[in-house]
Amino acid sequence: MLVRLAVAAAVIVVVLAVAAVVRRRARPVPPPRTAYPVPRQLDRADFPEPTVPVLVAYFWSRTCDSCEGLGPLLASLAADDTVIAAAEATDDRALHRRYDVQAIPMILISDGDGVVRRAFVGAPEPADLFAAVSAVRSPGSVPEPGPGSLED
C-alpha cells in the first residue's frame, strides 16, 4: 500500500513538472495590432500653404494597392479653404518619419492650428472622407462622432 502511494505521488510530481514546462513554452501569442498611431498635431510649416484653414495631409506609397485612386479623390477636395498635401513614402521619407507614419494610406485632416480633427488609416469611403472634411471646414455640420473622428 505504501509503495502504491509513493508511485502515485511520483506520478503526480512528474505530471505537474511536465505541465509547468509546457505552460512556460506555450506563451500566448500577443493580440494582433488593430490600430496604428495617428498624429494628433501637425506643424503646418511642414506642408504647403500653412495659412489655409484646412489641411488634408495624405501619406501614401507607390507600392500601396489601397492608395490607388485616392490621389484624384483627394484632389477633388481642394478649395480656397482646403489644401491637399500628398507625402509619398520614398520621396517624403523624412516627413513620414517625423510623424511616425506606420500604416498607409493615412489621411489626416487638420485645422489652421495643425490640430488633427479627423483621420483615416486605410482607404476611406468617399462619402466618409467628404463628411470628415466638411466637419473640419464647418464644425457642427456632421453629427459627432463623425467619420474619421479621433476618439480617446
Answer yes or no: is 113 within a domain. Answer: yes
Number of structural domains in the chain: 1
| Alpha helices by DSSP H, 26-148 | 70-75, 93-98, 126-137
Starting at the edge strand found earlier in the chain, the sheet holding 116-121 runs 82-88, 54-60, 106-110, 116-121
pLDDT at position 77: 93
Chain centroid to Cα 84, Å, comes to: 19
Nearest to 147 by CA among 139, 125, 137: 125
Q: Can you give the residue range of the structural domain that contains 112?
A: 44-137
Answer yes or no: is 144 within a domain. Answer: no
pLDDT in tens, 124-144: 999 999 999 999 998 876 666
Domain harbouring 133, CATH code: 3.40.30.10
Answer yes or no: is 87 within a domain. Answer: yes
Q: How far apart are the first and last CA of the chain?
A: 66
Answer yes or no: is 74 within a domain. Answer: yes
Answer yes or no: is 97 within a domain. Answer: yes
Answer yes or no: is 93 within a domain. Answer: yes
Beta strands 106-110; 54-60: pairing state: antiparallel
Nearest to 48 by CA among 84, 101, 93: 84
Answer yes or no: is 26 within a domain. Answer: no
Cα separation, 85 vs 54, in Å, equals: 11
pLDDT in tens, 68-121: 899 999 999 999 999 999 999 999 999 999 999 999 999 999 999 999 999 999
Cα separation, 149 vs 1, in Å, equals: 72
Kindly state the average pLDDT of the residues 50-69: 94
pLDDT in tens, 1-44: 778 877 778 888 888 888 877 777 766 666 766 678 899 999 99
pLDDT at position 152: 47
Tell which wins on pLDDT, 128 or 150: 128
Residue 97's alpha-carbon distances to 33, 39, 93, 126, in angstroms, are 20, 11, 6, 27
pLDDT at position 37: 87
| Alpha helices by DSSP H, the chain | 2-25, 70-75, 93-98, 126-137
